[in-house]
Amino acid sequence: MPKDTTIRKVLVIGSGPIVIGQAAEFDYAGTQACRSLKEEGICVVLVNSNPATIMTDKDIADKVYIEPLVPEMLKEIIRREKPDSLLPTLGGQAALNLAMELWESGFLAEQHVRLIGTTAETIRKAEDREAFKETMEKIGEPCAPSQIVYSVEEGAKFAEEIGYPVVLRPAYTLGGSGGGIAHDRRELEEILSNGLRLSRVGQVLVERCIAGWKEIEYEVMRDESGTCITVCNMENLDPVGVHTGDSIVVAPSQTLGDKEHQMLRSAALNIIEELKITGGCNVQFALHPESFEYCVIEVNPRVSRSSALASKATGYPIAKVAAKIALGYHLDEIKNAITQKTFASFEPMLDYCVVKMPRLPFDKFLSADRTLGTQMKATGEVMSICTNFEGGLMKAIRSLEQHVDSLRSYDFSGLSEEELLGRLGVADDRRIWVIAEALRRGISYDEIYRITKIDPWFIDKLAVLVEMEEALERGPLDRELLEEAKRLEFPDEVIGRLAGLPEGQVKSLREQYGITASYKMVDTCAAEFEASTPYYYSCYDGYNEAESSTGRKKVLVLGSGPIRIGQGIEFDYCCVHGTWAFAREGYETIIVNNNPETVSTDFDIADKLYFEPLTPEDVESIVRLEKPDGAIVQFGGQTAIKLTQALMEMGVPILGTQAEDVDAAEDRERFDEILGKCGIPRPAGHTVFTVEEAKAAAADLGYPVLVRPSYVLGGQGMQIAVRESDVEEFMEIINRIEQEHPVLVDKYLMGKEIEVDAVCDGQDVLIPGIMEHIERAGIHSGDSISIYPAQSISRKAEETILSYTEKLAAALHVRGLINIQFIVCQDEVYVIEVNPRSSRTVPYISKVTGLAIVDVASRVIMGETIRGMGYTPGLWPASGYIAVKMPVFSFEKLQGADVRLGPEMKSTGEVLGIARDFQEALYKAFLGAGVRLPKHRNVIMTLNDEDKETGVEIGRRLAKLGYRIFATRGTWKALREAGVPAVPTGKISQESPNILDLILGHAIDLVIDTPAKGAQHGRDGFLIRRNAIETGVYCITAIDTARALAESLEHAGSQSMEPVNIAG
């Protein structure tokens, strides 16, 4: 059937802020779908609270609302825009839940808005545990024995019946939040009571534990005619028990015979048919490793992280096709964009092996529990493509950027055999390294399988890699061995290390033997049909099919790799916009990236896509083939910046700001020199290498001091030290990883933080806006609430900031983007950090000012001038809107992670509140970040001494709003002395009822806990904060955030919310 012409205006809901379990994949899906709808002449109205996304750009949709994803806002937008349809399947669980709420309330019917792409009935059947079970029973698809429970007693009773262990899955939660495996009654009570609270409908499924079975996923598409296809199947290396988002996943499945595969494939089609899904759907199965028995684990009636992965793994654009199906098209009417010959009604065939690895945040949260379970913990992922599994795994490992490049990267050789066997039983992010060690010790495949339940096929593949390590150590490194090592994707550096040769010598040996990477195309059809879409991966065992082409100027854009805390989707935004800008000017564009969740790795963004690790060796192979005229490193975050030196050595010109200038900003001594020359002050500081030097520096500067490694992003490892023991501790943590560069020790200034993004053409500087942070210095800028335009700095300070920005841009010879962070302390302006590259705030500031900064920067890089493009240098006029960027955290997903904010970034995403006045913008931002107060009007305050004065005033305001304040002794005293009513409460160590009982009593809205600065060893604060987070209580650790919240609450009652269309 052709397009349904009654669909003219479609509302698309995005997924909101990036949190663990809901990340960049929805920006990819949403962007692709919006473009696909626009292509059909549909007017697209987009709502998403996340300003860092590409989908919220005004050129992606016709109307763009960066507004909180809450029913009242959606209703307002629907009343105003009057869309005829709502497409809810592209924004993950967030969008689906919201659409359901609007539908259930009757609002959609009242407004004559229909759901397209799915029906409310379908969503209910797939998402509601009970309805799902019934549906599966009806069509004879087995589920693990399970029961929906509404109370702990009910759950315990059922668990006794089916026997422990049992899996607990709360209904309607993100990434399995609040779920887990309970091995006994005590664990059941703990997990279940929490799960019941987190579930939107207070339901939790208790089911037979099928941990240890194979976990297999299918991505299925169906159109309105009933045509169903599977795009791809995927096998998890980690058996059932580890969330698929945290598993190593391979596509297609490797250990299933055709009978098993077809059985599950037929079941998946059966399910999508019964659910009458029109669009895409993900079905997860558990398959018994020793029989044909299987169970359906879960069905997601929407695009998902897995569908993004499947799209990139096969070249089949699931979101795009799903959008077309929603408009009424049939699969056989939609062209396969890759072959241009075949249609969307076929199943991709792979002639390569795809490996996905999760990017886990344990480098950021040293105290967090590394065990992987049913609760997803990864912030992002990498994907690799190779002709063999071993090579795919090796590529994926080095794509992680976690100081790992082989199965030798974690050393478990010190463990006794008993300890090692014990470690094998722990499913954590290092398990494949533990298995490798077990293989080195000669522990049998059977034994490893018995403990891990990882299929022996995968264990054997790890053994192949271990054997290669040993062969390389033994030598001699002849042609045959080197060829085989490269086929298995051992990097030259690792080969050199094992063979006892410098990397350069391995490389020249390779050149001598003519062993070079070839590139193969991802074409959806295993070469059966001709394909023209240039989407490539490398291998060492075949002919090269990538042709270096055209007479056009060619630019290489280095991507930003996996999403991690500190380097998020913002950099993908910059890469994509940069690529588009270069393409518009007639350049041939080439993207190199390894993140399957992002827009940049969609095959139609650049002229060519190389899906490859971002290491010097991998990039050099591409450079040798493509011979680009230049490379862009300033958009891809630290990942790309780190490649600068290597690119220069390959002879690739760095476009825009030069490497030595980037280095000047990072190298403390050179930077000081520049500051001195420009007459710009910065907090006093020293560079050090050892603990002793650090202590001496701190003593010289006077505590508190800021300690941090140089050349990192997101303030990794940055800490405030208030005493000598802190310095010792922080230095020890930093030096756990060998530092190439010195550690910086700076005087800590408690002032107002200001941030500026700017474009410089070498002469003039264009500054889109000045942003001010609500939290004073000491909280990482990415974790601060940021306001545009700055609200509270003096005219004089503003002028100083502008002048410093101009001076610094000039002194660093910036061509392109620069980001500068200042501290304003008693009206004095200090520079604390300069990054001559794109920053986290670029997308947000672009959207609120309407100035396409990446585009301007790209054109500057290509040689245009700011004046030449018609812009007036200096500060861009304020837009008339106030925008508040609010960080969003995923602490509830990371057991054991400390919630306390500091100089090291911890947030995973952000939302924007935009309005004509500050109060409304702030209110929207809190709302968008999921802070919905009040429920109980109870707040707990426990403040450090320096915050007491400010805290008391906040307490007074909260009390006036009708909040009952519970406070620990010191805070209570301060409140009482100031005449603020409060209830004293005991510390955790004191007898019940104490502060912990209060939190666990589920009657608290908010915890304001400001810990003392410096290293913390007290467990009390940590426990309070963790318990608050884990019971869903909003927890604030910075006094300035608390003040902003109080202010927002004061205005909440009278607050009207006006949606703002930024594309208007």
For the CB of residue 528, give the shortest distance to other proteins in the complex, in Å.
6
For the CB of residue 625, give the shortest distance to other proteins in the complex, in Å.
17
484: tokens are: 């085989």
For the CB of residue 641, give the shortest distance to other proteins in the complex, in Å.
35
Nearer of residues 280 and 930 to other proteins, judged by Cβ = 280
DSSP string, 52-79: T-STTSTTTSSEEE----SHHHHHHHHH
For the CB of residue 644, give the shortest distance to other proteins in the complex, in Å.
34
Binding site for other proteins (CB under 8 A): 1, 225-230, 252-259, 261-262, 265-266, 269, 289-291, 330-332, 341-343, 345-353, 387-389, 455-457, 460, 464, 520, 525-530, 541-543, 545
Nearer of residues 457 and 871 to other proteins, judged by Cβ = 457
For the CB of residue 326, give the shortest distance to other proteins in the complex, in Å.
18
DSSP run (H or E) holding 948: helix 948-960
- How far the first Cα of the chain sits from its last, in Å, is 34
Name the nearest CA neighbour of 929 among 906, 913, 905, 915: 913
492: tokens are: 């030259």
Is-contact 1050 957, C-beta < 8 A? yes
Give 625's contacts (C-beta < 8 A, 6+ positions apart). Answer: 519, 544, 546, 548
For the CB of residue 345, give the shortest distance to other proteins in the complex, in Å.
4
Nearer of residues 543 and 1053 to other proteins, judged by Cβ = 543
Rounded Cα–Cα distance for residues 14 and 774 (Å): 27
Rounded Cα–Cα distance for residues 283 and 72 (Å): 32
Q: How remote is the C-alpha of 1058 from its chain's centroid?
A: 30
Nearer of residues 464 and 733 to other proteins, judged by Cβ = 464
Name the nearest CA neighbour of 710 among 762, 667, 760, 753: 667
For the CB of residue 487, give the shortest distance to other proteins in the complex, in Å.
9
Q: Counting beta carbons within 10 angstroms of the beta carbon of residue 788, is it exposed (0 to 12), middle (13 to 18) or buried (19 or more)? A: buried
- Output the 3-class SS for 498-566: HHCCCHHHHHHHHHHHCCCCEEEECCCECCCCCCCCCEEEEECCCCCCCCCCCCCCEEEEECCCCCECC
What Rg do the C-alpha atoms of the chain give, in angstroms? 28
Q: What residues pair up with 85 in beta bridges, in sequence order?
A: 10, 114
Nearer of residues 262 and 989 to other proteins, judged by Cβ = 262
Nearer of residues 487 and 776 to other proteins, judged by Cβ = 487
For the CB of residue 513, give the shortest distance to other proteins in the complex, in Å.
16
For the CB of residue 449, give the shortest distance to other proteins in the complex, in Å.
9
- Across 793-908, the runs of DSSP E, i.e. the strands, are 816-825, 828-835, 874-875, 882-888
Nearer of residues 394 and 1033 to other proteins, judged by Cβ = 394
For the CB of residue 119, give the shortest distance to other proteins in the complex, in Å.
20
CB count, 10 Å around CB of 794?
A: 10
For the CB of residue 530, give the shortest distance to other proteins in the complex, in Å.
7
For the CB of residue 460, give the shortest distance to other proteins in the complex, in Å.
4
Nearer of residues 347 and 629 to other proteins, judged by Cβ = 347
Nearer of residues 58 and 276 to other proteins, judged by Cβ = 276
Q: What residues pair up with 215 in beta bridges, in sequence order?
A: 286
SS3 of residue 394 by DSSP = helix
Nearer of residues 346 and 830 to other proteins, judged by Cβ = 346
Q: How remote is the C-alpha of 1045 from its chain's centroid?
A: 26
For the CB of residue 3, give the shortest distance to other proteins in the complex, in Å.
15
Nearer of residues 157 and 341 to other proteins, judged by Cβ = 341
Rounded Cα–Cα distance for residues 743 and 740 (Å): 9
Q: How remote is the C-alpha of 1021 from its chain's centroid?
A: 28
For the CB of residue 288, give the shortest distance to other proteins in the complex, in Å.
9
Q: Counting beta carbons within 10 angstroms of the beta carbon of residue 193, is it exposed (0 to 12), middle (13 to 18) or buried (19 or more)? A: middle
Rounded Cα–Cα distance for residues 755 and 817 (Å): 13
What DSSP character marks residue 1061?
A: B
For the CB of residue 294, give the shortest distance to other proteins in the complex, in Å.
13
Q: What residues pair up with 1034 in beta bridges, in sequence order?
A: 1006
Rounded Cα–Cα distance for residues 698 and 725 (Å): 11
For the CB of residue 267, give the shortest distance to other proteins in the complex, in Å.
11
Is-contact 294 142, C-beta < 8 A? yes
Nearer of residues 217 and 755 to other proteins, judged by Cβ = 217
Nearer of residues 188 and 459 to other proteins, judged by Cβ = 459
Nearer of residues 240 and 785 to other proteins, judged by Cβ = 240
The answer to whether the Cα torsion of 159, 162, 165, 171 is positive or negative is negative
- HSE (side-chain half, CA atoms, 13 Å) at 779: 26
Nearer of residues 466 and 809 to other proteins, judged by Cβ = 466
For the CB of residue 328, give the shortest distance to other proteins in the complex, in Å.
13
For the CB of residue 351, give the shortest distance to other proteins in the complex, in Å.
5
Rounded Cα–Cα distance for residues 601 and 558 (Å): 11
Nearer of residues 387 and 895 to other proteins, judged by Cβ = 387
Is-contact 831 820, C-beta < 8 A? yes
Nearer of residues 346 and 876 to other proteins, judged by Cβ = 346
Name the nearest CA neighbour of 655 among 805, 867, 865, 858: 858
Nearer of residues 352 and 844 to other proteins, judged by Cβ = 352
Cα-based distances in Å from 232 to 28, 217, 830: 18, 8, 54
DSSP string, 994-1018: BHHHHHHTT---EEEEEPPSS----
